[in-house]
Chains A and B, each alone.
Chain A
């Protein structure tokens, strides 16, 4: 091979450096779509895989922290990466961000991550905490321009109102979504006066739109939040992993507001009805007591009457007894008292013929003379 003397001759290292500079200038980052193959993790930290299509294959390199969750061969991915030529190991795409694409890949990625996090106990019912009802202070993570944000605030105020809401505006889809949501949760947790609940919400969307809410980072952040969490993603079919990790989930942003606070009108109606029932109960108690007092009064009177009767009966009996024991009683029964000159004669020997006597009957006296 003939080489012209004017041509630049580079050392291998210089060549690699030059190529990398060129690549960095031309493609600071590139998104490549392809199927995942030969996925492996080394020493629990380094990630290697190939991204391929029908005709080509390119090596990718990164760390486990850049993974959206567990991946497996066959998944379709969008990989944002920096093309790089390593001085020893050759060309690779240095991963910046990975996003599974297509219904199948997204679902499968979520399934794998769900199994992994479930095994760690992140979704255990025993971890769920009670959310204060109703809370006075809410941290809201949502896109400020979304219908979800408007709906949530509207329903919340219509039902209860007078609640302090700290809103952190985030993107709820696209590459920045994960980092923004994670940062927002941490920010709310770090407030001097943290809210009583953190609500993370967005409206429905395609599986791809909702991916951030099934990412490992967001799911772990929700699970780790010291402030209780409520995640409400408006969709019908699958439940996102962040919802599973939250203390409570809601089906829509409006539903989240309904779960958080009672309806003021309903509460007032219930209160009014309770008051009416209370007054009725009080009236019933008073009526009963009044009835009792009537009985008391009657019983008291009856007791006194009985004692009076008993006493009167006793006096009558004693009177009869006394009467029976008196001389009058004997006269009644036919006895007479014999007197001579006023003195009672109690034996026949004391009498002499021609003595004048007076016989005392119960109803009068008779004068008689002793004949012999």
Chain B
């Protein structure tokens, strides 16, 4: 995953929080709102990929544990 190399989960989430804060509590114009929305959705996609990656690791770990138990 391209984003994962340089940017960690925390940083991505912090950017998302910042965008939401501006959109929810600021008075963005429609261009800002659209741009923020698009960037926010992109960040969410990246975070989902991050989670998927972690889930895969857990699944592998579970399989390993099952092997040991067997």
Contacts and interface: CB of A to CB of B under 8 A. Distances in A.
Interface of A: 272, 275-276, 279, 282-283, 286, 289-290, 293, 296-297, 299-301, 303-304, 307-308, 311
A275 B61 CA distance: 9
Interface in B15-69: 16, 19-20, 23-24, 28-30, 33-34, 36-37, 40-41, 44, 47-48, 51, 54-55, 58, 61-62, 65, 68-69
Contacts of B37: 300-301, 303-304
Given A272-B69, A279-B65, A304-B34, A293 B47 contact: yes
Nearest to A275: B65
A16 to B, nearest CB: 84
Contacts of A297: 41, 44
- A contact patch SS: helix
Given A279-B58, A286-B51, A304-B33, A296 B16 contact: yes
Given A297-B44, A300-B44, A307 B30 contact: yes
A268 to B, nearest CB: 9
A28 to B, nearest CB: 69
Contacts of B24: 299, 303
A307 B58 contact: no
A226 to B, nearest CB: 42
Contacts of A304: 23, 33-34, 36-37
Highest count of chain B CB atoms <10 Å: which of A307, A308, A311: A307
Given A275-B65, A304-B36, 14 more contacts: A272-B68, A272-B69, A279-B58, A282-B54, A282-B58, A283-B58, A296-B44, A300-B36, A300-B40, A300-B41, A303-B24, A307-B28, A307-B30, A308-B30
Nearest to A300: B40
Contacts of B68: 272
10 contacts: A272-B69, A275-B61, A279-B58, A282-B54, A283-B58, A293-B51, A297-B44, A300-B23, A303-B37, A308-B30
Interface residues of B, number: 26
A283 B23 CA distance: 31
A286 B48 CA distance: 10
- B contact patch SS: helix
A277 B44 CA distance: 28
A293 B43 CA distance: 10
B51 A289 contact: yes
Nearest to A282: B58
Nearest to B68: A272
A283 B55 CA distance: 8
A308 B54 contact: no
Contacts of B28: 307
A279 B36 CA distance: 36
A282 B20 CA distance: 27
Nearest to A283: B58
A275 B68 CA distance: 11
B4 to A, nearest CB: 15
Nearest to A294: B44
A153 B34 CA distance: 75
A303 B23 contact: yes
Nearest to B47: A293
Nearest to B50: A289
B59 to A, nearest CB: 9
A273 to B, nearest CB: 10
B65 A276 contact: yes
Contact of A307 (B23, B40, B48, B62): B23
A109 to B, nearest CB: 57
